[in-house]
Amino acid sequence: MKVAKNTVVSIAYTLKDADGNVLDTADADAPLAYLHGFGNLIPGMEKALEDRDKGETFEVVIPPEEAYGSFDDDLVWELDKDQFGELGEVEIGTQFVLETEDDQVLVTVAEIKDDVVIVDGNHELADETLFFEISVVDVREATPEEIEHGHAHGPGGVDDYDHDD
Ligand SMILES: [Zn+2]
């Protein structure tokens, strides 16, 4: 069976940045399982996997626009430290959901100055070109329930009993 919409694909992969640093991996004995064609992976990855066979291994270079996007200055906010009173100590790397006028954005504390805290809502891999080596460990037909939910169940996917959508 080939990778196509409505198949559940199990992949092993190594993700490196442009300098060759390993950012993430999934081993063949504990692969990532995802439902293809539902935007569960970054666009460049799903595109590269389309029509692949079980057992194939390949490399793909994914530019930011097909990965986690460009760095957006509009997603960086300077907040008064006073506003954090209730939250107690904030540290660099602390993550929380920021309520903006029209959205909720997951932000990370990037910098702390005397009385301001600079938070960043960009993905940590924004602006990065991603270098993947991917192996297709398995391809199977999705169940009607998986298609209804829009994600894979079972090993490597969303745990069947631990999600509510
Ligand atoms: Zn589900």
* Residues 59 and 130 grouped into a single domain: yes
* Residues 64 and 131 grouped into a single domain: yes
User: Which whole number is the average pLDDT over 108-127?
Assistant: 92
* Residues 59 and 98 grouped into a single domain: no
Tell me, what CATH number does 106's domain have? Answer: 2.40.10.330
* Residues 79 and 44 grouped into a single domain: no
Backbone phi, then psi, for 52, in 5-degree steps?
-75, 155
pLDDT greater than 80 at residue 121: yes
Q: How far is the CA of 11 from the centre of ligand 1 (A)?
A: 19
Q: How far is the CA of 37 from the centre of ligand 1 (A)?
A: 15
Query: Given pLDDT bands bounded at 50, 70 and 90, which one contains residue 90?
Result: confident
Whether 45 is in a domain gets the answer yes
* 103: containing domain: 73-120
Backbone phi, then psi, for 47, in 5-degree steps?
-60, -45
Q: How far is the CA of 148 from the centre of ligand 1 (A)?
A: 8
pLDDT greater than 80 at residue 84: no
pLDDT value of residue 165: 57
* Residues 80 and 132 grouped into a single domain: no
Whether 1 is in a domain gets the answer no
Query: Given pLDDT bands bounded at 50, 70 and 90, which one contains residue 161?
Result: low
10-65 confidence digits (pLDDT tens):
999 999 999 999 999 999 999 999 999 999 999 999 999 999 999 999 999 999 99
* Residues 41 and 94 grouped into a single domain: no
Tell me, what CATH number does 18's domain have? Answer: 3.10.50.40
